[in-house]
């Protein structure tokens, strides 16, 4: 049956379910660069360039394998501007009898695709995205049996299911989780391996020109461009991580160092999320490194937990709770997003560094996102919709399925505790412990009051006070209310005054 197989920008894998039974004789693959996807949020320039270049390289790879590809470039004269209209155009131009597409990563698109069969009058098959290791149905079944959904228990089941780091039915080393050995601040004399930099070929060159011309108003630095845009190069990134960084991944997972955006992280989320890498190959590569004595268990287990545990758990939550999840706002946060998230213009050094690195790289590591950029938005009560818009725009690995539960669940506690058992709120001392940002800050991290006091210090207590009715019965946080109460009324007034003055000046 002559079939049109639609490949979205984050489905660039030969293993994807929509290509599984492709016939080179009868079928065509459709890949399209469209304004609607490129602009539904103001994506970082590097993210657009990365995806367009990876899409063009993937089309080239398919053609080399003898597959016919209908490829719409953004500036093609006939480009209709949306995925829906591009599919319609292909159906008008060629006698396809059906359309096959793998389930998209965002609810909004899944909703649109569900209407195509009726709208276009051809059979439309949406297939499971089996790049993931737990289907939405399996996650829903798992969640039904539980009062509370905790990543740790989900992760243990995934370890058993995929037989990863297992000794029969026991975890290797006797423990499921080695986080107690992780989370060290960086030592001053640490040698950090150089991050991967991919070569720029003619395809990427053309895309960079296009993005410079068409998206000049978008946030972010386009140059220098160093992302891998082919599977071969993405595999090199993975191997470089396994060889050079994994050994210290656990130790410095939560560390932040000024001027060192990449540290010992893997930098593979861009590739995993668009299909250039597959999760199980990353998990197996790390597991093998442990058995080869290349990396210790705390590092390997910690890394595997991120992919087999957190990544799948987060996706499970997304599909379980959408579409309502996009609108949750448990703490009733209403503030606008401060302008410095786009400009980096703030005298708070931690925030300035994290925003400027995000602008440069379309990347920040987990603790920068959670404990600096996210923490500030949480403490100051920025409305979830603004925080989500920012996180979805600025990171090259951001798609709603993964961005939204991280923001609404992990950062903002907007889901009331579905993802995180308590808000990840912290004062300046946490940032000072895990980074060297405070040394170069206009504020003094040790000061709790006065003009030069670190704003995180009073904003933290103000956040707790403002949200008392919703948080004080949380057993993981109620001790902090006891500390707050012990401070006495005078201090409470001062905290409220400093916070309100700070927020007014934002």
Judged by the rule CB under 6 A, the positions of this chain that interact with ligand FAD are 265-269, 272-273, 306-307, 310-311, 314, 365-366, 369-370, 374, 391, 395, 397-398, 402-403, 406-407, 410-411
Q: Give whichever of 382 and 441 is closer to ligand SF4, judged by the CB atom.
A: 441
Question: What is d(CA 211, CA 42) in angstroms, rounded to the nearest whole number?
Answer: 12
What the block records as the tokens of 18 is 């929509």
Per-residue three-class SS string for 370-435: HHHHHHHHHHCCECHHHHHHHHHHHCCCCCHHHHHHHHHHHHCCCCCCCCCCCCCCCCHHHHHHHE
Find the binder of ligand DLZ among 3, 5, 30, 33 (CB under 6 A).
33
Cis peptide before 323 (omega within 30 of 0): yes
Binding of residue 116 to ligand DLZ (CB under 6 A): no
Beta bridge partners of 4: 28, 99
Phi-psi group of 124: left, alpha or beta (phi > 0 → left; psi -120 to 50 → alpha; rest → beta): beta
Going by C-alpha positions, the residue among 88, 74, 85 that lies closest to residue 38 is: 74
Least CB distance to ligand FAD at residue 144 (A): 23
> Is 402 within 8 Å of 273 (Cβ atoms)?
yes
C-beta of residue 216 within 8 angstroms of C-beta of residue 42: no
Residue 431, contacted partner among ligand FAD, ligand SF4, ligand DLZ, none, CB below 5-8 A by kind: ligand SF4
Among 45, 101, 104, 303, binds ligand DLZ (CB under 6 A): 104
| 43 touches ligand DLZ (CB under 6 A) | yes
Q: Which x/- pattern, by CB under 6 A, does the window 383-402 give for ligand DLZ? A: ----------------x---
**Sequence-distant (≥ 6) Cβ neighbours of residue 416 within 8 angstroms:** 328, 330, 470
Q: Answer with the entry of ligand FAD, ligand DLZ, ligand SF4, none that 365 interacts with (C-beta below 5 to 8 A by kind).
A: ligand FAD
- Of 33-41, 169-177, 252-260, 428-436, the segment contacting ligand DLZ by CB under 6 A is 33-41
Picked from ligand SF4, ligand FAD, ligand DLZ, none, the partner binding residue 204 (CB below 5 to 8 A depending on kind) is none
Q: How far is the CB of 52 from ligand DLZ (least distance, A)?
A: 7
Q: Which is nearer to ligand DLZ, 375 or 393 (CB)?
A: 393
- The option from ligand FAD, ligand SF4, ligand DLZ, none interacting with 366 (CB < 5 to 8 A, set by class) reads ligand FAD
**Rounded-to-integer distance, Cα 486 and Cα 490, Å:** 11
- Strands 98-102, 3-6: pairing is parallel
Q: Which does 109 bind (CB under 5 to 8 A by kind): ligand DLZ, ligand SF4, ligand FAD, none?
A: ligand DLZ
In the list ligand DLZ, ligand SF4, ligand FAD, none, the entry touching 106 (Cβ below 5 to 8 angstroms by class) is ligand DLZ
CA distance linking residue 387 with residue 171, whole number of Å: 38
Q: Which of 486, 367, 381 is nearest to 435 (CA)?
A: 367
Beta strands in 215-365 (DSSP E): none
User: Any idea of the CA torsion for 256, 280, 232, 402, to the nearest 10 degrees?
Assistant: -50
What 3 state SS string does 54-94 have? HHHHHHHHHHHCCCEEEEECCCCCCCCCCHHHHHHHHHHHC
Between residues 386 and 433, which has the closer beta carbon with respect to ligand SF4?
433
- Return the number of the residue (91 or 414) whose C-beta is nearest ligand FAD: 414
> What are the residues binding ligand SF4 (CB under 6 A)?
348-350, 428, 431-432, 437-438, 441, 443, 445, 454-456
Task: Compare residues 109 and 438 and give the one whose CB is closer to ligand DLZ.
Answer: 109
Q: Is the dihedral of CA 327, 343, 34, 222 positive or negative?
A: negative
Q: Which does 90 bind (CB under 5 to 8 A by kind): ligand SF4, ligand FAD, ligand DLZ, none?
A: none
- Please report, as residue ranges, which positions from 60 to 89 form the binding site for ligand DLZ (by CB under 6 A): 83
Residue 38's binding partner, choosing from ligand SF4, ligand FAD, ligand DLZ, none, with beta-carbon cut-off 5 to 8 A by kind? ligand DLZ
User: Which pair of tokens denotes residue 101?
Assistant: 């597409």
Name the one range near ligand DLZ by CB under 6 A: 4-12, 200-208, 219-227, 383-391: 4-12
Q: Does 403 bind ligand DLZ (CB under 6 A)?
A: no
Q: Tell me the pairing of strands 28-32 and 68-72.
A: parallel
Closest distance between ligand SF4 and the C-beta of residue 498, in Å? Answer: 13
Phi, psi of 435 (to 5 degrees): -145, 175
What is d(CA 17, CA 25) in angstroms, rounded to the nearest whole number? 19
**Residue 250 in contact with ligand DLZ, rule: CB under 6 A:** no
**C-beta of 401 vs 437, nearer to ligand SF4:** 437
Measured from the CB of residue 40, what is the shortest distance to ligand DLZ in angstroms? 7
Binding site for ligand DLZ (CB under 6 A): 8-10, 32-34, 37-38, 43, 48, 51, 83, 104-106, 109, 399
């Amino acid at each position: 049956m002559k079939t049109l197989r639609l490949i979205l920008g984050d489905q660039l894998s030969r293993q994807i379910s929509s290509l599984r039974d492709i016939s080179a004789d009868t079928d065509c693959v459709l890949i399209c660069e469209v304004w609607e996807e490129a602009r539904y949020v103001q994506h970082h320039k590097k993210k657009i360039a990365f995806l367009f270049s990876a899409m063009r390289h993937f089309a080239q790879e398919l053609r080399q394998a003898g597959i016919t590809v209908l490829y719409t470039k953004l500036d093609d004269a006939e480009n209709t501007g949306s995925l829906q209209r591009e599919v319609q155009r292909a159906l008008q131009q060629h006698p396809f009898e059906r359309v096959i597409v793998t389930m998209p990563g965002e609810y909004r698109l899944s909703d649109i695709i569900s209407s195509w069969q009726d709208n276009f009058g051809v059979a439309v098959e949406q297939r499971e995205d089996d790049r993931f290791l737990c289907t939405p149905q399996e996650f829903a079944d798992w969640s039904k049996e539980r009062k509370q959904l905790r990543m740790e228990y989900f992760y243990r089941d995934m370890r058993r299911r995929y037989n990863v780091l297992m000794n029969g039915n026991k975890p290797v080393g006797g423990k499921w989780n080695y986080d107690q050995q992780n989370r060290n601040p960086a030592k001053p004399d640490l040698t950090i391996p150089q991050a991967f930099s991919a070569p720029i070929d003619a395809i990427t060159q053309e895309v960079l020109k296009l993005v410079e011309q068409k998206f000049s108003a978008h946030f972010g630095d386009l140059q220098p461009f160093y992302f891998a845009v082919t599977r071969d190069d993405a595999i090199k990134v993975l191997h470089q991580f396994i060889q050079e960084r994994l050994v210290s991944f656990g130790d410095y997972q939560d560390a932040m160092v000024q001027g060192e955006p990449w540290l010992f992280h893997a930098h593979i989320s861009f590739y995993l999320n668009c299909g250039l890498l597959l999760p199980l190959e990353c998990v197996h590569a790390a597991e093998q490194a442990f058995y080869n004595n290349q990396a210790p268990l705390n590092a390997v287990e910690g890394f595997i937990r991120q992919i087999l545990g957190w990544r799948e758990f987060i996706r499970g939550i997304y599909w379980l709770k959408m579409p309502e999840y996009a609108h949750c706002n448990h703490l009733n946060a209403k503030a606008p997003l401060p302008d410095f998230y786009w400009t980096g213009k703030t005298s708070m050094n931690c925030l300035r560094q994290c925003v400027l690195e995000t602008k440069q790289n379309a990347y920040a590591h987990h603790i920068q996102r959670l404990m600096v950029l996210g923490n500030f938005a949480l403490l100051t009560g920025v409305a979830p919709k603004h925080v989500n818009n920012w996180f979805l725009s600025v990171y090259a690995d951001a798609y709603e399925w993964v961005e939204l539960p991280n923001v609404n669940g992990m950062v903002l506690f907007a889901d009331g505790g579905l993802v995180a058992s308590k808000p990840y709120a912290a004062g300046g001392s946490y940032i000072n412990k895990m980074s060297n940002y405070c040394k170069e800050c206009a504020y003094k991290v040790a000061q709790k009051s006065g003009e030069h006091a670190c704003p995180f210090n009073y904003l933290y207590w103000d956040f707790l006070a403002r949200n008392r009715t919703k948080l004080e019965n949380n057993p993981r946080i109620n001790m902090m209310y006891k500390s707050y109460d012990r401070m006495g009324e005078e201090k409470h007034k001062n905290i409220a005054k400093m916070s309100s003055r700070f927020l007014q000046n934002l």
